[in-house]
Amino acid sequence: MKDYKFNFKVLIGPGLVWAAGLVLVLLYAPKTVYMNGMVGLGFLLLCLGTLWALYALYREYSKTGKEWPFFLERFFPNYPVVEDKNDLTRRLSAFRKSYSDFLSSGREEENSTLQSYASQLMWHSTALQKKRLSKNRLTLEMDSERRAYTDPKTCVRVNKYFDGRYNVRDIYEEISALRTIKRGGKIVGRIRDSEVAHFTLLSANQVGPDAIVCPNCGNKTSRENLLDGCDYCGTKFTVEDMEDRIDSFGLRRDFRTSATKKEAVKELLFPWTTLLVMLPLIYFGFIGAFAYMPDFNIFLRLVTGLFAASLLGLLGWSLKSIFLVLIAPLFLLVSASSKSIDRKMIYNRKKEEEQEKSMAEFVRTTDPLFSIQSFFGGIQNKLSAIHYAESPVEINAFSTNDLSSLIGRYRGVVDVDFMNITMDSYHADETLQVAGVSAELRLFRLRGDKIKEETEQVKMTLIKAADCKTQAVCGASVLTCRGCGASLSLMEGKTCAYCGRNLDLMAYDWVIADYTVL
Protein backbone atom coordinates (compact mmCIF):
# COMPACT_ATOMS: atom_id res chain seq x y z
CA MET A 1 0.00 0.00 0.00
CA LYS A 2 2.83 2.35 0.89
CA ASP A 3 4.36 2.14 -2.62
CA TYR A 4 1.00 1.99 -4.40
CA LYS A 5 0.80 4.09 -7.56
CA PHE A 6 -2.41 5.87 -8.49
CA ASN A 7 -4.35 3.85 -11.07
CA PHE A 8 -6.14 6.31 -13.35
CA LYS A 9 -7.83 3.44 -15.20
CA VAL A 10 -10.43 3.28 -12.41
CA LEU A 11 -11.93 6.48 -13.86
CA ILE A 12 -12.67 4.87 -17.23
CA GLY A 13 -15.92 3.24 -16.06
CA PRO A 14 -17.32 6.39 -14.40
CA GLY A 15 -16.22 8.42 -17.43
CA LEU A 16 -18.09 6.17 -19.84
CA VAL A 17 -21.26 6.33 -17.72
CA TRP A 18 -20.99 10.13 -17.50
CA ALA A 19 -20.40 10.44 -21.27
CA ALA A 20 -23.39 8.20 -22.03
CA GLY A 21 -25.58 10.43 -19.86
CA LEU A 22 -24.34 13.55 -21.62
CA VAL A 23 -25.03 12.05 -25.05
CA LEU A 24 -28.59 11.10 -24.07
CA VAL A 25 -29.34 14.60 -22.78
CA LEU A 26 -27.85 16.41 -25.79
CA LEU A 27 -29.49 13.98 -28.23
CA TYR A 28 -33.05 13.85 -26.86
CA ALA A 29 -33.52 17.17 -25.00
CA PRO A 30 -33.74 19.40 -28.13
CA LYS A 31 -36.56 17.19 -29.48
CA THR A 32 -39.02 18.09 -26.71
CA VAL A 33 -39.80 20.92 -24.36
CA TYR A 34 -40.55 18.39 -21.65
CA MET A 35 -38.18 16.03 -19.85
CA ASN A 36 -38.96 12.62 -21.30
CA GLY A 37 -37.67 9.27 -20.09
CA MET A 38 -34.45 9.32 -22.13
CA VAL A 39 -33.53 12.82 -20.94
CA GLY A 40 -34.26 11.81 -17.35
CA LEU A 41 -32.08 8.72 -17.79
CA GLY A 42 -29.32 10.93 -19.18
CA PHE A 43 -29.32 13.21 -16.12
CA LEU A 44 -29.42 10.13 -13.85
CA LEU A 45 -26.35 8.70 -15.60
CA LEU A 46 -24.55 12.03 -15.24
CA CYS A 47 -25.13 11.96 -11.49
CA LEU A 48 -24.23 8.27 -11.13
CA GLY A 49 -21.04 8.75 -13.16
CA THR A 50 -20.01 11.64 -10.91
CA LEU A 51 -20.70 9.72 -7.69
CA TRP A 52 -18.89 6.65 -9.05
CA ALA A 53 -15.87 8.80 -9.96
CA LEU A 54 -15.80 10.27 -6.43
CA TYR A 55 -15.87 6.78 -4.93
CA ALA A 56 -13.13 5.55 -7.30
CA LEU A 57 -10.92 8.51 -6.34
CA TYR A 58 -11.59 7.80 -2.66
CA ARG A 59 -10.51 4.15 -3.06
CA GLU A 60 -7.35 5.09 -4.92
CA TYR A 61 -6.29 7.85 -2.52
CA SER A 62 -6.96 5.49 0.40
CA LYS A 63 -4.49 3.01 -1.10
CA THR A 64 -1.77 5.57 -1.80
CA GLY A 65 -1.79 7.11 1.69
CA LYS A 66 -1.17 10.52 0.11
CA GLU A 67 -2.85 13.78 1.09
CA TRP A 68 -6.44 13.92 -0.12
CA PRO A 69 -8.01 16.62 -2.31
CA PHE A 70 -10.31 18.86 -0.27
CA PHE A 71 -13.49 17.64 -2.01
CA LEU A 72 -12.84 14.01 -1.01
CA GLU A 73 -12.37 14.92 2.66
CA ARG A 74 -15.82 16.48 2.60
CA PHE A 75 -17.55 13.25 1.56
CA PHE A 76 -15.47 10.32 2.83
CA PRO A 77 -13.87 9.43 6.18
CA ASN A 78 -10.12 9.99 6.00
CA TYR A 79 -7.94 7.74 8.14
CA PRO A 80 -4.37 8.90 7.45
CA VAL A 81 -1.42 6.54 7.24
CA VAL A 82 0.84 6.87 10.29
CA GLU A 83 4.53 6.37 9.56
CA ASP A 84 7.05 4.74 11.89
CA LYS A 85 8.29 7.20 14.51
CA ASN A 86 10.28 5.10 16.99
CA ASP A 87 11.94 1.71 17.48
CA LEU A 88 8.69 0.06 18.54
CA THR A 89 6.64 1.11 15.50
CA ARG A 90 9.55 0.24 13.19
CA ARG A 91 9.71 -3.22 14.76
CA LEU A 92 5.96 -3.76 14.34
CA SER A 93 6.13 -2.75 10.67
CA ALA A 94 9.20 -4.92 10.07
CA PHE A 95 7.47 -7.89 11.68
CA ARG A 96 4.34 -7.47 9.56
CA LYS A 97 6.49 -7.36 6.42
CA SER A 98 8.56 -10.42 7.38
CA TYR A 99 5.35 -12.26 8.32
CA SER A 100 3.89 -11.52 4.88
CA ASP A 101 7.14 -12.37 3.08
CA PHE A 102 7.35 -15.72 4.86
CA LEU A 103 3.77 -16.81 4.10
CA SER A 104 3.77 -15.42 0.53
CA SER A 105 6.97 -17.21 -0.44
CA GLY A 106 6.27 -20.40 -2.31
CA ARG A 107 9.59 -21.97 -1.31
CA GLU A 108 10.95 -23.55 1.86
CA GLU A 109 13.08 -21.22 3.97
CA GLU A 110 15.69 -22.44 6.42
CA ASN A 111 16.46 -19.03 7.91
CA SER A 112 13.52 -16.68 7.49
CA THR A 113 13.78 -13.10 8.73
CA LEU A 114 10.59 -13.84 10.69
CA GLN A 115 12.75 -15.82 13.14
CA SER A 116 14.49 -12.55 14.07
CA TYR A 117 11.19 -11.20 15.40
CA ALA A 118 9.02 -14.12 16.56
CA SER A 119 9.27 -16.21 19.72
CA GLN A 120 9.67 -19.98 19.36
CA LEU A 121 5.95 -20.65 19.86
CA MET A 122 4.93 -17.90 17.44
CA TRP A 123 7.43 -19.22 14.90
CA HIS A 124 6.17 -22.77 15.45
CA SER A 125 2.50 -21.96 14.71
CA THR A 126 3.40 -19.76 11.72
CA ALA A 127 5.70 -22.44 10.26
CA LEU A 128 2.84 -24.94 10.54
CA GLN A 129 0.57 -22.50 8.70
CA LYS A 130 3.10 -22.11 5.90
CA LYS A 131 3.39 -25.88 5.71
CA ARG A 132 -0.41 -26.11 5.32
CA LEU A 133 -0.40 -23.40 2.64
CA SER A 134 2.42 -25.08 0.72
CA LYS A 135 0.68 -28.46 0.84
CA ASN A 136 -2.31 -26.86 -0.90
CA ARG A 137 -0.06 -24.92 -3.32
CA LEU A 138 -1.20 -21.64 -1.76
CA THR A 139 0.52 -18.43 -0.73
CA LEU A 140 -0.78 -15.74 1.63
CA GLU A 141 0.31 -12.12 1.25
CA MET A 142 -0.63 -9.55 3.90
CA ASP A 143 -0.52 -5.95 2.63
CA SER A 144 -0.84 -3.75 5.71
CA GLU A 145 -0.29 -0.23 7.01
CA ARG A 146 -0.90 1.68 10.22
CA ARG A 147 -3.97 3.95 10.10
CA ALA A 148 -5.20 6.58 12.55
CA TYR A 149 -8.85 5.60 13.08
CA THR A 150 -8.97 7.41 16.42
CA ASP A 151 -5.98 9.76 16.70
CA PRO A 152 -2.42 9.61 15.24
CA LYS A 153 -1.04 9.94 18.77
CA THR A 154 -3.04 7.00 20.12
CA CYS A 155 -3.18 4.63 17.14
CA VAL A 156 -0.61 2.40 18.89
CA ARG A 157 -1.68 1.57 22.47
CA VAL A 158 0.88 -0.09 24.77
CA ASN A 159 0.48 -1.72 28.18
CA LYS A 160 3.74 -2.74 29.93
CA TYR A 161 4.32 -5.21 32.78
CA PHE A 162 6.81 -7.80 34.10
CA ASP A 163 5.65 -11.42 34.27
CA GLY A 164 8.50 -12.92 36.32
CA ARG A 165 10.72 -13.82 33.38
CA TYR A 166 10.13 -11.24 30.70
CA ASN A 167 9.18 -7.61 30.31
CA VAL A 168 5.91 -7.82 28.38
CA ARG A 169 4.35 -5.19 26.13
CA ASP A 170 0.71 -5.75 25.20
CA ILE A 171 0.10 -3.70 22.03
CA TYR A 172 -2.94 -2.73 19.97
CA GLU A 173 -2.10 -1.15 16.61
CA GLU A 174 -4.81 0.42 14.45
CA ILE A 175 -4.33 -1.10 11.04
CA SER A 176 -5.66 -1.56 7.53
CA ALA A 177 -4.76 -4.96 6.11
CA LEU A 178 -5.60 -7.03 3.07
CA ARG A 179 -4.74 -10.73 3.10
CA THR A 180 -4.63 -12.17 -0.42
CA ILE A 181 -4.54 -15.94 -0.84
CA LYS A 182 -3.33 -17.22 -4.22
CA ARG A 183 -2.92 -20.56 -5.96
CA GLY A 184 -0.61 -20.56 -8.94
CA GLY A 185 -0.92 -16.77 -9.25
CA LYS A 186 -4.74 -16.91 -9.23
CA ILE A 187 -6.51 -15.17 -6.36
CA VAL A 188 -8.75 -17.62 -4.45
CA GLY A 189 -9.56 -15.42 -1.46
CA ARG A 190 -9.29 -11.92 -0.02
CA ILE A 191 -9.68 -11.02 3.65
CA ARG A 192 -9.95 -7.35 4.64
CA ASP A 193 -9.28 -6.11 8.17
CA SER A 194 -9.62 -2.49 9.22
CA GLU A 195 -9.55 -2.25 12.99
CA VAL A 196 -6.58 -3.42 15.09
CA ALA A 197 -3.63 -5.79 15.15
CA HIS A 198 -2.75 -7.22 18.58
CA PHE A 199 0.85 -8.03 19.54
CA THR A 200 2.49 -9.42 22.67
CA LEU A 201 6.21 -8.52 22.86
CA LEU A 202 8.68 -10.17 25.24
CA SER A 203 12.15 -8.98 26.25
CA ALA A 204 14.66 -9.90 28.98
CA ASN A 205 14.32 -7.81 32.14
CA GLN A 206 17.15 -5.30 32.61
CA VAL A 207 17.45 -4.76 36.40
CA GLY A 208 20.50 -2.50 36.40
CA PRO A 209 23.22 -1.10 34.14
CA ASP A 210 24.95 -4.51 33.95
CA ALA A 211 22.37 -7.02 35.17
CA ILE A 212 19.67 -8.99 33.32
CA VAL A 213 17.21 -11.55 34.66
CA CYS A 214 17.76 -14.95 33.00
CA PRO A 215 14.46 -15.75 31.23
CA ASN A 216 15.00 -19.44 32.04
CA CYS A 217 15.72 -19.56 35.77
CA GLY A 218 15.34 -15.98 37.04
CA ASN A 219 19.00 -15.63 38.03
CA LYS A 220 20.39 -12.09 37.85
CA THR A 221 23.49 -12.06 35.70
CA SER A 222 25.24 -10.06 32.99
CA ARG A 223 24.33 -9.99 29.30
CA GLU A 224 27.73 -11.50 28.49
CA ASN A 225 27.08 -14.46 30.82
CA LEU A 226 23.76 -15.18 29.13
CA LEU A 227 25.50 -15.20 25.75
CA ASP A 228 28.12 -17.68 27.07
CA GLY A 229 25.65 -19.63 29.21
CA CYS A 230 23.82 -18.70 32.43
CA ASP A 231 26.01 -19.39 35.50
CA TYR A 232 23.05 -20.99 37.30
CA CYS A 233 21.19 -23.06 34.67
CA GLY A 234 23.69 -23.12 31.79
CA THR A 235 21.18 -22.01 29.15
CA LYS A 236 22.75 -20.07 26.27
CA PHE A 237 20.98 -17.19 24.53
CA THR A 238 21.54 -15.15 21.40
CA VAL A 239 21.37 -11.36 21.47
CA GLU A 240 18.00 -11.61 19.72
CA ASP A 241 16.62 -13.87 22.50
CA MET A 242 16.98 -10.97 24.93
CA GLU A 243 15.41 -8.30 22.72
CA ASP A 244 11.75 -7.71 21.87
CA ARG A 245 10.28 -10.99 20.64
CA ILE A 246 6.76 -11.08 19.26
CA ASP A 247 5.05 -13.89 21.12
CA SER A 248 1.59 -13.51 19.57
CA PHE A 249 0.03 -11.64 16.67
CA GLY A 250 -3.51 -11.41 15.38
CA LEU A 251 -5.98 -9.15 13.58
CA ARG A 252 -8.98 -8.37 15.75
CA ARG A 253 -12.09 -6.28 16.14
CA ASP A 254 -11.97 -3.39 18.60
CA PHE A 255 -15.08 -1.68 19.94
CA ARG A 256 -13.27 1.65 20.47
CA THR A 257 -12.09 1.77 16.86
CA SER A 258 -15.47 0.59 15.56
CA ALA A 259 -17.34 3.28 17.53
CA THR A 260 -14.99 6.02 16.27
CA LYS A 261 -15.45 4.95 12.65
CA LYS A 262 -19.25 4.96 13.00
CA GLU A 263 -19.16 8.50 14.37
CA ALA A 264 -17.01 9.60 11.43
CA VAL A 265 -19.58 8.17 8.99
CA LYS A 266 -22.46 9.95 10.78
CA GLU A 267 -20.70 13.29 10.33
CA LEU A 268 -20.89 12.80 6.55
CA LEU A 269 -24.70 12.80 6.48
CA PHE A 270 -25.00 16.57 6.01
CA PRO A 271 -22.49 16.95 3.10
CA TRP A 272 -23.85 13.87 1.31
CA THR A 273 -27.45 15.09 1.62
CA THR A 274 -26.37 18.47 0.24
CA LEU A 275 -24.55 16.85 -2.68
CA LEU A 276 -27.41 14.50 -3.61
CA VAL A 277 -29.93 17.35 -3.68
CA MET A 278 -27.72 19.92 -5.46
CA LEU A 279 -25.97 17.74 -8.06
CA PRO A 280 -28.94 16.95 -10.36
CA LEU A 281 -30.14 20.58 -10.19
CA ILE A 282 -26.67 21.92 -11.10
CA TYR A 283 -26.41 19.52 -14.05
CA PHE A 284 -29.91 20.43 -15.21
CA GLY A 285 -29.14 24.16 -15.04
CA PHE A 286 -25.78 24.01 -16.79
CA ILE A 287 -26.30 21.32 -19.43
CA GLY A 288 -29.94 22.26 -19.95
CA ALA A 289 -28.82 25.66 -21.29
CA PHE A 290 -26.90 23.92 -24.07
CA ALA A 291 -29.60 21.31 -24.73
CA TYR A 292 -32.69 23.56 -24.69
CA MET A 293 -31.18 26.74 -26.24
CA PRO A 294 -29.78 25.53 -29.59
CA ASP A 295 -30.39 28.88 -31.33
CA PHE A 296 -28.19 30.91 -28.95
CA ASN A 297 -24.45 31.35 -29.46
CA ILE A 298 -22.02 29.36 -27.33
CA PHE A 299 -21.00 32.29 -25.13
CA LEU A 300 -24.60 33.15 -24.22
CA ARG A 301 -25.39 29.50 -23.52
CA LEU A 302 -22.31 29.27 -21.30
CA VAL A 303 -23.26 32.37 -19.30
CA THR A 304 -26.87 31.21 -19.03
CA GLY A 305 -25.78 27.73 -17.99
CA LEU A 306 -23.47 29.03 -15.25
CA PHE A 307 -26.17 31.38 -13.97
CA ALA A 308 -28.86 28.66 -14.01
CA ALA A 309 -26.52 26.12 -12.36
CA SER A 310 -25.67 28.63 -9.61
CA LEU A 311 -29.30 29.55 -9.06
CA LEU A 312 -30.55 25.96 -9.02
CA GLY A 313 -27.57 24.88 -6.88
CA LEU A 314 -28.53 27.54 -4.35
CA LEU A 315 -32.10 26.29 -4.50
CA GLY A 316 -30.88 22.76 -3.89
CA TRP A 317 -28.84 23.94 -0.93
CA SER A 318 -32.03 25.44 0.50
CA LEU A 319 -34.12 22.36 -0.27
CA LYS A 320 -31.68 20.07 1.48
CA SER A 321 -32.96 21.40 4.81
CA ILE A 322 -36.49 20.30 3.84
CA PHE A 323 -35.10 16.97 2.68
CA LEU A 324 -33.33 16.51 6.01
CA VAL A 325 -36.56 17.26 7.87
CA LEU A 326 -38.40 14.67 5.76
CA ILE A 327 -35.86 11.93 6.38
CA ALA A 328 -35.26 12.94 10.00
CA PRO A 329 -37.66 10.32 11.44
CA LEU A 330 -35.94 7.57 9.44
CA PHE A 331 -32.51 8.87 10.45
CA LEU A 332 -33.51 9.04 14.12
CA LEU A 333 -34.84 5.49 13.93
CA VAL A 334 -31.64 4.18 12.32
CA SER A 335 -29.50 6.25 14.69
CA ALA A 336 -31.38 4.99 17.75
CA SER A 337 -31.02 1.40 16.51
CA SER A 338 -27.31 1.96 15.81
CA LYS A 339 -26.75 3.52 19.23
CA SER A 340 -28.57 0.65 20.84
CA ILE A 341 -26.32 -1.82 19.04
CA ASP A 342 -23.24 0.27 19.90
CA ARG A 343 -24.27 0.48 23.56
CA LYS A 344 -24.87 -3.26 23.62
CA MET A 345 -21.51 -3.92 21.99
CA ILE A 346 -19.68 -1.51 24.30
CA TYR A 347 -21.54 -2.89 27.33
CA ASN A 348 -20.68 -6.46 26.35
CA ARG A 349 -17.04 -5.58 25.74
CA LYS A 350 -16.78 -3.66 29.01
CA LYS A 351 -18.43 -6.59 30.75
CA GLU A 352 -15.82 -8.87 29.18
CA GLU A 353 -13.03 -6.52 30.30
CA GLU A 354 -14.43 -6.48 33.84
CA GLN A 355 -14.64 -10.28 33.78
CA GLU A 356 -11.05 -10.47 32.52
CA LYS A 357 -9.89 -8.08 35.23
CA SER A 358 -11.79 -9.98 37.93
CA MET A 359 -10.43 -13.34 36.75
CA ALA A 360 -6.88 -11.99 36.52
CA GLU A 361 -7.08 -10.65 40.06
CA PHE A 362 -8.39 -14.00 41.27
CA VAL A 363 -5.54 -15.90 39.59
CA ARG A 364 -3.01 -13.44 41.03
CA THR A 365 -3.97 -14.60 44.53
CA THR A 366 -2.12 -17.80 43.54
CA ASP A 367 0.26 -16.41 40.91
CA PRO A 368 1.06 -12.75 41.77
CA LEU A 369 2.59 -12.03 38.33
CA PHE A 370 -0.20 -13.54 36.23
CA SER A 371 -1.04 -11.66 33.01
CA ILE A 372 -4.27 -12.59 31.28
CA GLN A 373 -3.24 -11.02 27.95
CA SER A 374 0.00 -13.02 27.92
CA PHE A 375 -2.10 -16.08 28.82
CA PHE A 376 -4.42 -15.41 25.86
CA GLY A 377 -1.40 -15.00 23.56
CA GLY A 378 -0.18 -18.47 24.48
CA ILE A 379 -3.67 -19.92 23.89
CA GLN A 380 -3.74 -18.27 20.48
CA ASN A 381 -0.45 -19.90 19.41
CA LYS A 382 -1.55 -23.33 20.65
CA LEU A 383 -4.91 -23.12 18.84
CA SER A 384 -3.15 -22.05 15.64
CA ALA A 385 -0.80 -25.02 15.87
CA ILE A 386 -3.73 -27.41 16.36
CA HIS A 387 -5.59 -26.07 13.32
CA TYR A 388 -2.53 -26.32 11.04
CA ALA A 389 -1.13 -29.67 12.31
CA GLU A 390 -0.66 -32.46 9.76
CA SER A 391 0.39 -35.30 12.05
CA PRO A 392 -0.31 -36.68 15.55
CA VAL A 393 3.15 -35.50 16.66
CA GLU A 394 2.37 -31.91 15.63
CA ILE A 395 -1.19 -31.71 16.96
CA ASN A 396 -0.28 -33.20 20.35
CA ALA A 397 2.75 -30.98 20.98
CA PHE A 398 0.80 -28.92 23.56
CA SER A 399 -1.69 -31.51 24.79
CA THR A 400 -1.74 -34.28 27.37
CA ASN A 401 -4.57 -36.02 25.47
CA ASP A 402 -4.57 -37.41 21.94
CA LEU A 403 -6.10 -34.83 19.57
CA SER A 404 -5.30 -36.77 16.38
CA SER A 405 -9.00 -37.06 15.48
CA LEU A 406 -9.05 -33.30 14.82
CA ILE A 407 -6.51 -33.49 11.97
CA GLY A 408 -9.19 -34.42 9.43
CA ARG A 409 -11.58 -31.80 10.79
CA TYR A 410 -9.08 -28.98 10.17
CA ARG A 411 -7.56 -30.36 6.96
CA GLY A 412 -8.46 -27.43 4.71
CA VAL A 413 -7.98 -24.56 7.19
CA VAL A 414 -5.36 -22.12 5.85
CA ASP A 415 -5.85 -19.11 8.16
CA VAL A 416 -7.38 -18.46 11.58
CA ASP A 417 -8.64 -15.29 13.28
CA PHE A 418 -9.36 -15.13 17.01
CA MET A 419 -12.56 -13.21 17.60
CA ASN A 420 -12.71 -13.72 21.35
CA ILE A 421 -10.92 -15.67 24.09
CA THR A 422 -12.20 -15.79 27.67
CA MET A 423 -10.94 -17.43 30.85
CA ASP A 424 -14.06 -18.94 32.40
CA SER A 425 -12.64 -20.59 35.52
CA TYR A 426 -9.47 -21.18 37.53
CA HIS A 427 -8.47 -23.23 40.54
CA ALA A 428 -5.25 -24.61 41.98
CA ASP A 429 -4.22 -27.37 44.36
CA GLU A 430 -0.88 -28.67 45.62
CA THR A 431 0.11 -30.16 42.26
CA LEU A 432 -1.78 -28.39 39.46
CA GLN A 433 -3.29 -25.13 38.27
CA VAL A 434 -6.42 -25.68 36.17
CA ALA A 435 -8.04 -23.09 33.84
CA GLY A 436 -11.25 -23.28 31.79
CA VAL A 437 -11.12 -21.34 28.51
CA SER A 438 -13.64 -20.52 25.76
CA ALA A 439 -12.63 -19.28 22.31
CA GLU A 440 -14.52 -17.99 19.29
CA LEU A 441 -12.59 -18.42 16.05
CA ARG A 442 -13.03 -17.43 12.44
CA LEU A 443 -11.66 -20.14 10.13
CA PHE A 444 -10.74 -19.67 6.48
CA ARG A 445 -10.97 -23.01 4.71
CA LEU A 446 -10.04 -23.99 1.16
CA ARG A 447 -13.04 -25.54 -0.59
CA GLY A 448 -12.34 -26.28 -4.23
CA ASP A 449 -10.83 -23.11 -5.67
CA LYS A 450 -12.35 -20.71 -3.13
CA ILE A 451 -11.65 -19.69 0.45
CA LYS A 452 -14.77 -20.03 2.59
CA GLU A 453 -15.25 -18.41 5.98
CA GLU A 454 -16.77 -20.22 8.96
CA THR A 455 -16.95 -19.74 12.71
CA GLU A 456 -16.06 -22.16 15.49
CA GLN A 457 -16.63 -22.26 19.26
CA VAL A 458 -14.10 -24.16 21.37
CA LYS A 459 -13.98 -24.96 25.10
CA MET A 460 -10.74 -26.13 26.68
CA THR A 461 -9.32 -27.18 30.01
CA LEU A 462 -5.66 -26.27 30.51
CA ILE A 463 -3.33 -27.43 33.26
CA LYS A 464 0.05 -26.28 34.54
CA ALA A 465 2.32 -27.30 37.41
CA ALA A 466 1.36 -25.59 40.68
CA ASP A 467 4.88 -24.23 41.21
CA CYS A 468 5.10 -22.71 37.71
CA LYS A 469 4.29 -19.07 38.36
CA THR A 470 5.48 -17.45 35.12
CA GLN A 471 3.53 -17.08 31.89
CA ALA A 472 6.10 -16.63 29.15
CA VAL A 473 7.72 -19.70 27.65
CA CYS A 474 11.45 -19.20 27.10
CA GLY A 475 12.40 -20.69 23.75
CA ALA A 476 15.91 -21.71 24.82
CA SER A 477 14.90 -23.50 28.03
CA VAL A 478 11.88 -25.28 26.59
CA LEU A 479 13.88 -26.54 23.62
CA THR A 480 16.56 -28.20 25.76
CA CYS A 481 16.15 -31.87 26.72
CA ARG A 482 16.55 -32.37 30.47
CA GLY A 483 17.65 -35.96 29.81
CA CYS A 484 20.58 -35.54 27.43
CA GLY A 485 20.80 -31.77 26.82
CA ALA A 486 20.01 -32.06 23.12
CA SER A 487 17.97 -29.40 21.35
CA LEU A 488 14.26 -30.05 20.91
CA SER A 489 12.09 -28.67 18.14
CA LEU A 490 8.38 -28.23 18.72
CA MET A 491 7.98 -28.79 14.98
CA GLU A 492 9.04 -32.39 15.69
CA GLY A 493 6.88 -32.82 18.79
CA LYS A 494 7.75 -32.96 22.47
CA THR A 495 9.86 -36.16 22.38
CA CYS A 496 13.66 -36.02 22.22
CA ALA A 497 14.93 -37.80 19.12
CA TYR A 498 18.17 -38.78 20.88
CA CYS A 499 17.11 -40.22 24.23
CA GLY A 500 13.33 -40.57 23.78
CA ARG A 501 12.49 -38.44 26.81
CA ASN A 502 9.26 -36.40 26.64
CA LEU A 503 9.45 -32.69 27.29
CA ASP A 504 7.49 -31.89 30.46
CA LEU A 505 5.90 -28.79 28.99
CA MET A 506 3.46 -28.60 31.90
CA ALA A 507 6.38 -27.59 34.14
CA TYR A 508 6.89 -24.46 32.00
CA ASP A 509 3.56 -23.47 30.50
CA TRP A 510 -0.13 -24.30 30.15
CA VAL A 511 -0.96 -27.50 28.27
CA ILE A 512 -4.34 -28.67 26.94
CA ALA A 513 -5.98 -31.40 29.02
CA ASP A 514 -9.41 -31.27 27.31
CA TYR A 515 -10.51 -29.84 23.94
CA THR A 516 -14.16 -29.69 22.84
CA VAL A 517 -15.65 -28.16 19.67
CA LEU A 518 -19.16 -26.90 20.41
Model confidence pLDDT, tens digit, residues 382-411: 898 899 988 888 888 888 888 999 998 998
Question: Which of 72-76, 229-233, 274-278, 498-502 shows the lowest mean pLDDT across its residues?
Answer: 229-233
> Is the C-alpha dihedral spanning 489, 377, 474, 398 positive or negative?
negative
Domain ranges of the chain: 1-76, 87-258+351-517
> Is the C-alpha dihedral spanning 359, 361, 364, 368 positive or negative?
positive
Helical H segments across 364-465, by residue range: 372-388, 392-395, 406-409
Q: How confident is the model at residue 472 (pLDDT cuts 50, 70, 90)?
A: very low
C-alpha distances (whole Å) from 330 to each of 146, 334, 335, 343 are 36, 6, 8, 20
Provide the pLDDT for residue 198: 87
Question: Which of 2-6, 168-172, 297-301, 447-451 shows the lowest mean pLDDT across its residues?
Answer: 2-6
CB 455 within 8 Å of CB 397: no
> Is the C-alpha dihedral spanning 373, 377, 382, 388 positive or negative?
positive
pLDDT score of 458 more than 90 = yes
Query: What distance, in Å, lies between the first and last C-alpha atoms of the chain?
Result: 39
Provide the pLDDT for residue 145: 87
Question: Which of 279-288, 364-373, 412-421, 472-481 shows the lowest mean pLDDT across its residues?
Answer: 472-481
pTM for this predicted structure: 0.72
